[in-house]
Structure 1
Amino acid sequence: MKRSSTTTADRRGPGDGRIPPPRRSGVIGVLLAALLVLTGCTAIPTQGPVGVISASDDESGDVGLVFDPQGPAPGASPARILLDFITAGTGASDGYSVARQYLTPELQETWRPEERIVLFRSDPRVEEREGEGVYRIQLETTGIVDARGVRTDTVVPATEAMSVRLVQVDGEWRIDDIPDGIMLAQSSAQDLLLSHNLSFYSSDYRYWVPDARWFVRRTGVTARVVAAMLAGPAPYLQGSVTSAFPEGVTLARDSVPITSGTATVELSPQVLENATNLSLQQMNQQLQVNLLNLNDVTSVEMTTDQPIELGPPAPDLVVPELSPDVGTVQVAVAGGELVAVRNGESAPIEDLPSVASLEPRDPATVVSGEAYAFVNVTRKALYIAVPGSEARRIAVGDAFTQPSFDTENWVWTARNADGRGEVIAIPPGGSEEDAAVLTVSWLGEREVRELRISRDGARALVVTERGDTPEVLVSGITRSPDGVPQTLTPPLSLPVDVDVDTAKWAGQSTIVASALGATTRAEPVVLHLNGERESMATLDGVLGISAGTDAEDMFYAQVDSTLYRRIGNSWVDEQIDVIDPAFPG
């Protein structure tokens, strides 16, 4: 159900210093067209003969190169059987038929290879335990992909041990008991796994929210993508995003035929229960954004026993924004005033009264430029300013983080509350008395260094410190039916192996992060929600960072009182004399 975008706070015009409601972007109406084109240790080989999986009759498109492992060698020892079984997990063709040859006939019927994918580095160790045929496999793991395709990586490799049992079948050792799943060398994962963003609606149906998943490269990937979407969002997004499909709807069969670019998705009959033209069109829209450009899909047809008629275009149908644009103008501080940074120079903000007496730091703005928020130099007061009005103090506290605006122009920040991090959100036109103080039990004793709301308003980027360890976390935002923020869901952790004091959104699925300090050599990194990361050139004395809609052309770092722009893997001094730059949001 769509939620109302109205809030309990009174929204007033700019003349009295209140935040105006957000303007709806005209780009929404034209995005439909874009959417439619959218004891011993034995070494194990991590690569074997390479083959090509050809597409099945149900799916077109190149699935990609895969490894072509061999079956069990006659007379192989239990240790060799286990090591070769790990290698055989790289062969996904024909239902992992090669890997199943290493299992007893009974286990072949029940073993689920993609229930859990363990990513490892270094060579596995196989140790014999007490009891005939009892062994233990030890792995130095770097990540796990669960049955939903959600990948969790670790910065420091962990150790995992699994107990297995082998028995003799017709004089040959075969595996009789082993946990479901396969084990892949990290070096092979890029070739064997496919990263794909599922898309769910934001709670107001105005934005697509990405949900990064990983799938084994094999035939049937289109059906597996649809099945994953129907099963719902990853845990950290549950309650913060929505699906157009009713709970319980599944694929009627395990394949999605693709003919001349049209994917035919046959669904269970529940899809038609209480369906309206609007809900069916939203379902079709969601299928399209999830499948376009996957296996050359250009259009989607929904069916049950027969094609589902969508009916005439529903007047309430909104085409969500896939990549919200925050523009190219930043807000910053120069000479004690808020300024706009554009085209390589800074300029005063039109009609904005002076705020120099308030000693502004860490400003934020909305995309329209109709409202600004900032903290004072002591971080004990939070202010709102709109053109044509004097700045207004809206909250007091201790150690406020840089404010952040969401899509409904709520102002978000975190502050210290009796030694604990506290997240608050203040509605447009409101003040601390109207603030939503969010219940975030998982924060515990963590200190919040940064809080940034995503450009779709559904997620929060949080940088915390637990002990001496920095954490970069992404959490879903749950709201009441009338849009009031309620809590942050248990987060997704993005592991980092460098010091991090700050992080910013750089698009929908990308985050940039860096250490801060006048005497610190920073190693900024780009973090992707699918677990991948990339390092950038080091930079001395970074005091702040800002990012627009991407991390390539719109990523800036403040050093002293000038901005450096990322160009490729280098930093170029833009010679703009400002501090605390920030893109809208």
Structure 2
Amino acid sequence: MTAGVIGRIAPLVILLLLLLTSCSSIPTAGPVGTIEATAEAETGARFVNNPPPPREGARPGEILNGFLVAGIGVSDNYSVARSYLTPSLAQTWAPEQEITIYRSDFKISSTPTEGELQLQVEVAGYIDAAGIRRNVGPGTTESMTVRMEQVQGEWRVAEIPTGIMISAADAENLLQPHELYYYSSSYQYWVPDVRWFVNRQGIATNIVKALINGPAPYLQGAVTSAFPENTALAVESVPIESGTATVDFTQDILTATDNLRRQQMEQQLRVTLTGLNTVNSVELRAGQPIPYDIDPDLVLPELDPAVPSRQIVISENELAFFEGGQLSPAADVPSVAGFDPVDPAMSYDGRNFAFLNDERTRLLATGEGQNVRAVTAGSNLTPPSYDPANWIWTAGTSDGRSYVRAIPPGGSTDNAIDVLAPWLGNRTISEIRISRDGARALIVAQQSGQSQLLLSGVSRSEDGVPQTLSDPISLNPPGAVDTAKWVTETSVVVADTATEGSVTATLLPFASEPDEFRPLAGLQHLSAGTGRTNVFAQSGNSIYGVVGNTWTDQGVTARDPSFAG
């Protein structure tokens, strides 16, 4: 599109947007409202956008521009967007096969070839057909050639990558993050798998389809699903009536499951769908209601397990507890002063402890009524982390390359296990924290001078022995980081620590924008309990807690605070 064309179109577009958005309570490129669902339909919030159809006599660039804008019009299966396509492409175009989210206005340019346009966008992220989102860093651009054809004298889009492109601002209105839940390998915890769906009629069906198709790649092998392989819906909709979602499977689900498995399926569907706030129960069907009885072996997994409020700290070179603004000695625990302890960790039952020596070459463990014992040795050992099964995790370096090591409960160097992580390559790990469900590892790493925040699945043997860390996904923090802690099952707090100068810690939810705390001078350590109100930091020998977004001195002299985990 030439500058002259843009100059003539822009005022008309602006006027149209002003007229449209004046009728809407949500700022977007068209009127936004909701449609009421009948009892037989799925309920839940849905956006209905009414972008303008193609203008008669419009030039190729205007048609392409209109098609891209119409991507937010989800009603009638994106009928307006399809009207900008040639009839053959309109039939095969899959709008939600891949969603591209862009940061700023796209750029349309002409090419020497008639009927071809060049489209450039600065990409913020992608969402695939399964709802898995992949964010990319600032400055990432994508360029593509779009072929146009005339249909009965009118230009239409004939060839363009499938899917829709939406701005980051429109994404906030059009897309809805949702947690799919899978069982941990022990069936003791729910493990969330955050996905993104277009917020429209049919969202419950899309959620169920994604759930039964299995977890995201990084969680495969780390979690368990109650649904047998090749599970399919017999009816391509999940109606919700009076708070009950009805999920109708094909008949073979009856022969593929026993009584316990059916209860686990219902339980997994219920905990996932209740996130819609329109569902409080689930009915399983295979042409008729699927029967099952209460099974005594059914385990009710824990959702987003809370962390005890007591922290372990180093005070006067000894282990101590910190809670409610007060320090207290760790009773029935031997002195650790001779080891010059740093970076203590505590098991979830509050009875076992681990720490590093000040050179970070030895990992030691102790507990109530236990002596201090060395559990592993190495170079550049990272702060220890307990998982729910009392395994102690750390990472270190050998010959310039990182490894991940896990020590079993009561174990030592003799039975420590090096956990496979082939993807590590030349990355150097500065921190590893195991999630409170035990199925995920939060990893801070450096590669080629750049810091990375990664999330990997933890695969275990049948008896719970850690085996492999899966190829991770990137959580894309807003800046450099060297430390990270779990805050909830789907949020972490990160910082790039320093003994001098202001440091800004950032709460990083997996499904929303980062939230910065006020800077703290000399922030050199973070800890996090249950929720953002339980985030703490160390500066010098003082511990600070968060009130709102501001750090408040807790009035104690201690260092290296750590919640259980």
| SS of residue paired to 1:340 | strand
Q: Does the 8 A contact of 2:346 with 2:386 survive in 1?
A: yes
Task: Determine the structure 2 residue equivalent to 1:40.
Answer: 2
Instruction: Give the 3-state SS of the residue equivalent to 1:384 in structure 2.
Output: strand
Aligned counterparts of 1:389 and 1:257: Cα–Cα separation in 2: 57
1:455-477 CA distance string (max 9 Å, x none) = 00000000001122111111000
The yes-or-no answer on 1:233 pairing with 2:215 is yes
**1:579 to 2:559 alignment:** yes
Asked if 1:97 is matched to 2:79, the reply is yes
User: Using the alignment, how far apart are the partners of 1:290 and 1:339 within structure 2?
Assistant: 40
Conserved in 1, the CA contact under 8 Å of 2:175 and 2:197?
Answer: yes
Aligned to 2:173: 191
Structure 1 residue 527: deviation in Å?
A: 1.1
- Structure 2 residue 336 is matched with structure 1 residue 355: yes
Query: Residue by residue, what CA displacement relative to the aligned partner does 1:349-382 show, whole Å, maximum 9, x if unpaired?
Result: 1111111111111011112112101111110111
Measure, in 2, the Cα distance between the counterparts of 1:157 and 1:206.
42
Instruction: State the AA in 2 paired with 1:73.
Output: R
Per mean C-alpha deviation after superposition, the further-off stretch among 432-441 and 375-384 is 432-441
User: Runs of 5+ in structure 2 lacking a partner?
Assistant: 18-27
SS across alignment from 1:89: helix
What code does the residue aligned with 2:337 have?
A
Unaligned runs of 5+ in 1: 1-38
**SS of the residue 1:81 aligns to:** helix
**How big is the shift at 1:293?**
4.2
Contact 2:340 2:357 in 1 (8 A): yes
Which of 215, 219, 239 aligns to 2:201? It is: 219
1:558 aligns with 2:558: no
User: Residue type matched to 2:2 in 1?
Assistant: G
The answer as to whether partners of 2:523 and 2:539 remain within 8 angstroms in 1 is yes
Alignment partner, residue 21 of structure 1: none
1:244 and 2:244 equivalent? no
Match 1:449 to one of 430, 438, 456: 430
Shift of 1:60: 4.7
Q: How does 1:157-556 map to 2 (within 5 A)?
A: 157-294=139-276, 296-311=278-293, 313-530=294-511, 532-551=513-532, 553-556=533-536
Q: Deviations over 1:184-203 (max 9, x none)?
A: 01111111111111111111
Confirm or deny: 8 A CA contact 2:542 2:554 kept in the other structure. yes
CA distance in 2, matches of 1:295, 1:574: 38
The alpha-carbon deviation at position 62 of structure 1 amounts to: 4.2
Secondary structure of 1:280's counterpart equals: helix
Please give the TM-score of this superposition, normalised by the length of structure 1: 0.91
Select the residue among 570, 573, 576 that pairs with 2:550: 570
Tell me the SS of whatever aligns to 1:398. coil
Aligned to 1:16: none
Task: Kindly indicate whether residue 145 of structure 2 is the aligned counterpart of residue 141 of structure 1.
Answer: no
2:25 matched to which residue of 1?
none
Work out the CA distance in 2 between the residues paired with 1:223 and 1:171: 40
How many angstroms apart in 2 are the aligned matches of 1:370 and 1:279? 36
DSSP-derived class of the 2:155 partner:
strand
**Residues 317-371 of structure 1, C-alpha deviations (whole Å, 9 max, x = no match):** 1000001111100001000100111111111111111111111110111121121
Q: Does the Cα contact within 8 Å between 2:394 and 2:406 map onto a contact in 1?
A: yes
Q: Return the alpha-carbon distance in structure 2 between the equivalents of residues 250 and 209 of structure 1.
A: 22
> d(CA) in 2 for partners of 1:550 and 1:212?
18
SS of 2:296's partner is coil
Instruction: Name the amino acid aligned to 1:192.
Output: L
Tell me the amino acid that sits aligned with residue 62 of structure 2.
R
- Contact preservation (8 Å) 1:140, 1:160: yes
* Contact kept in structure 2, 1:121 and 1:185, CA below 8 Å: yes
Partner of 1:26: none
1:262-298 deviation digits (Å, cap 9, x = unpaired):
1100112232233111100000000000111415111
CA distance in 2, matches of 1:149, 1:160: 20
Alignment identity in percent? 43
Partner of residue 125, structure 1: 107
Does the C-alpha gap of structure 1 residues 62 and 314 become closer, same or farther in structure 2, counting only changes over 3 Å? closer
Aligned letter for 1:559? S
Q: 8 Å contact 2:228–2:256 — kept in the other structure?
A: no
Amino acid of the structure 2 residue aligned with 1:377: D
Name the SS for the 1:413 alignment partner: strand
Partners in 1 of 2:222 and 2:115 — Cα distance? 48
Two-structure CA RMSD over aligned residues (Å) = 1.4
SS of the counterpart of 2:494?
A: strand
State the Cα deviation string for residues 122-168 of structure 1 (Å, max 9, x = none).
22111222332111211011111111111111231311012211111
Task: Report deviation, 1:528.
Answer: 1.6
Higher relative contact order (CA 8 A, sep 6+): 1
Match of 1:33? Answer: none
What amino acid does structure 2 have at the position aligned with 1:221? I
Task: Give the conservation status (yes or no) of the 8 Å contact 2:44–2:201.
Answer: no
8 A contact 1:153–1:531 mirrored in 2:
no
Q: Cα distance, 1:227 vs. partner?
A: 0.5
Where 1:269 maps in the other structure, the secondary structure is: coil
Check whether the contact 1:448–1:463 (CA below 8 A) recurs between aligned residues.
yes
Letter in 2 for 1:126: I
Tell me the secondary structure at the aligned position of residue 108 of structure 1. helix
Whole-angstrom distance in 1 between the partners of 2:182 and 2:459: 14
- In the aligned structure 2, how far is the partner of 1:492 from the partner of 1:97? 34
